[in-house]
Structure 1
């Protein structure tokens, strides 16, 4: 038989059992819609994180003391670091701060263009009769302007020699106080007046620049009660060639192990590059996406069971017709192809409708989830490849589910089939 004729017969079977066919198709629709919605949510989360990681800069390296502090700035990594430390007692969770000697060690490494020692903490900031606890970061004004990845929205960066001036992140300027902070407006920190000389653009990055105040490091030490100390909470470095960042990280680690008199087993510092952070987060997101996709795939398998059940019923109903077709010359291959095409059609129709439903759900999810609070930022992303692959998967599932019933139908003997009531 020609393919066109086989396809018509398969379509007739689908159309002549409308209720049963549509109930089967609904199972596929739910499975496909779940895959599209869940995977698009995972893809959107991946894109969100990648954009936020972009704020770290591909050429930046951060050194922090101990393990806990090293991962404290990255939600989701802290617990992993703590677990690693707890499994190895030789790793220090809270170690001595980085020193000026460490800073000079990093500066001496070839391939590093700028190095910034940082002290940080939280302080009470007064502005127009309001008080807010804000993260403050003391920086080396010369190096910081080359290390910061966020452009200025207004004003200027800190300059060497500045006193009683600050640069604020977008969040601090726009949403911390009822009245937005503006250039040249005074704020009070630790009883002293500081003038806002710069406002950064919104970064949205994991680095957290949006909600920080930046100040000269010596003044930050005074405010935080560590005046005269030459220690740092972290050291940031910018490499001249991002492609060599792995080699430079290894060199920094080797030099610091020697200068701090520790070994790789009990080292009291952690080095983070944007590349390593990206790899860790990508791995976590991939695992989550696979897990969510597997859950959605289970619902598609339930739909496959429905297809198999429908095909078995169709074979029983069409037993006499199969006998007639075989009696007038239809081959086993023809019979099997009719039922395989029928199950493929069920998968195709269910796939198309499921993609449509999944697309609608994906469009609605961000609006629904973002209403949970201002800290929730959800988006979805539906690549064209996802739609094509999901449709193809639905068809394949349909064919596989219909394979056994189709094979049994093809093996029916004409005499037995014609005698069937």
Structure 2
């Protein structure tokens, strides 16, 4: 008897037990659908992260001061002073290094914006506004925006600040006046103080994929130094190498000057960290889906074992008329494979649809507008082969059990 006849007999046997077979197939469908959907979401999220970081300048190094220790004084108090103070002397030394194209000074701090009776807490990124194009080459502004480089009263808002998610009314528009308040502790008196200044919105940035500026506001360094009481001490330096190929060389040169007394971060390092986190999280989620698939395997064992017990006389009859152990084994393995093929195929189709449904349901908002599941042929083939393989493995014991039944014992079974 050829393989097509074996599969035909197996399919007929499954049809005789429609409900039980359907429920077993459903178990495999659930497991393979989960694995397909989560594989697609993981690959899509990875592609989304790569796309977001591709919009950043690959030649930028973020330089910050390293703290003397990770903890403040016993009993509380201000944090320890940084080992290196980022000032114009440091800027000049770094700017003189080979392959350094520019050094962008920045002040940063938490501020409160007040507009039309509303207030928003956000981050200020105080730099030369023209340097935004160095940090985020693809940056775009809404219509009517203008960059006033030397205007100390001009402020540029990110789209998230100007149009808070979930609010129908904009927080601020171009040309509107805002009140900015900075709260700090006076190092001499230890008292909490406030500095306030009025600004006029000169521009609104569209989302860039750069979290540094997508969640912040920008005004020039003169205003930042005065409002944030920095006294010429920068919070961070953005060092632009001549191109992305020289980033590692520039980092090494800065390390030669300051060792570990200074912090250096590159977009590649950030991307690598995020990819490692994403990979670990995806593996964890897929392990949960694999458990669901294994449960489907247990269902196959139960279904086929019950089928063997119900068909003992049938097995005995086939053996009595000449059926060999290999034929009986093949017959039940074919049933397991049929369940696996149906379950894996339906599960993959359902998983692809489910991946898009999950993205549409949960990945909402401008920050996730580019997130779509990615279903790679290799991933789909892996899920399909794993589902079918586990089904065959699950059916191995019942098939072996059926093939080993002595025909005399089987024929005597009521």
Q: TM-score range, shorter-chain basis?
A: 0.7 to 0.9
Give the TM-score of the pair, scaled to structure 1: 0.80
Work out whether 1:248 is the aligned partner of 2:236: no
Matches within 5 A, 1:256-271: 256-257=258-259, 267-271=260-264
CA contact (8 A) 2:197 2:227 kept: no
Pick one of 347, 355, 373 that aligns with 1:381.
373
Task: Tell me what 1:157 maps to.
Answer: 147
Instruction: Measure how far apart 1:370 and its partner are.
Output: 5.8
Counterpart-to-counterpart distance in 1, 2:80 and 2:101: 30
Give the TM-score of the pair, scaled to structure 2: 0.81
Instruction: Measure how far apart 1:242 and its partner are.
Output: 1.3
Task: Tell me what 1:410 maps to.
Answer: 403
Counterpart-to-counterpart distance in 1, 2:245 and 2:80: 31
CA contact (8 A) 1:141 1:216 kept: yes
Counterpart-to-counterpart distance in 2, 1:24 and 1:131: 57
Task: Tell me what 1:286 maps to.
Answer: 279
1:358-388 deviation per Cα after TM superposition (whole angstroms, max 9, x unaligned): 34443443454468x9999895515043443
Counterpart-to-counterpart distance in 1, 2:330 and 2:55: 56
1:271-290 deviation per Cα after TM superposition (whole angstroms, max 9, x unaligned): 11110111111111111110
Instruction: Measure how far apart 1:411 and its partner are.
Output: 3.0
Q: Secondary structure at the match of 2:163?
A: helix
Instruction: Measure how far apart 1:48 and its partner are.
Output: 4.2
Say what the alpha-carbon RMSD is for the aligned residues: 3.3
Work out whether 1:16 is the aligned partner of 2:21: no
Question: Kindly tell me: are residues 103 and 6 of structure 1, through their superposed partners in 2, closer, same or farther at Cα, counting changes over 3 Å?
Answer: same
CA contact (8 A) 2:109 2:123 kept: yes
CA contact (8 A) 1:21 1:310 kept: yes
Question: Kindly tell me: are residues 382 and 318 of structure 1, through their superposed partners in 2, closer, same or farther at Cα, counting changes over 3 Å?
Answer: farther
Instruction: Measure how far apart 1:206 and its partner are.
Output: 2.5
Pick one of 141, 163, 187 that aligns with 2:178.
187
1:337-367 deviation per Cα after TM superposition (whole angstroms, max 9, x unaligned): 2111110111122223333443444344345
Task: Tell me what 2:101 maps to.
Answer: 113
Counterpart-to-counterpart distance in 2, 1:5 and 1:20: 23
Work out whether 1:148 is the aligned partner of 2:140: no
Work out whether 1:203 is the aligned partner of 2:208: yes
Counterpart-to-counterpart distance in 2, 1:142 and 1:364: 41
1:185-228 deviation per Cα after TM superposition (whole angstroms, max 9, x unaligned): 44344654434333322224333x133222221221101122xx
Matches within 5 A, 1:383-402: 383-385=375-377, 386-402=379-395
Instruction: Measure how far apart 1:298 and its partner are.
Output: 0.8
1:165-189 deviation per Cα after TM superposition (whole angstroms, max 9, x unaligned): 2332222333499456444444344
Q: Secondary structure at the match of 1:198?
A: strand
Instruction: Measure how far apart 1:82 and its partner are.
Output: 7.0
Work out whether 1:312 is the aligned partner of 2:300: no
Number of equivalent positions: 388
Work out whether 1:345 is the aligned partner of 2:338: yes
Task: Tell me what 2:89 maps to.
Answer: 101
Task: Tell me what 1:335 maps to.
Answer: 328
Matches within 5 A, 1:71-110: 95-96=82-83, 97-110=85-98
CA contact (8 A) 1:115 1:143 kept: no
Query: Which residues of structure 2 form unaligned runs of 5+?
Result: 73-78, 181-194
Question: Kindly tell me: are residues 94 and 313 of structure 1, through their superposed partners in 2, closer, same or farther at Cα, counting changes over 3 Å?
Answer: farther
CA contact (8 A) 1:41 1:362 kept: yes
Task: Tell me what 1:221 maps to.
Answer: 225
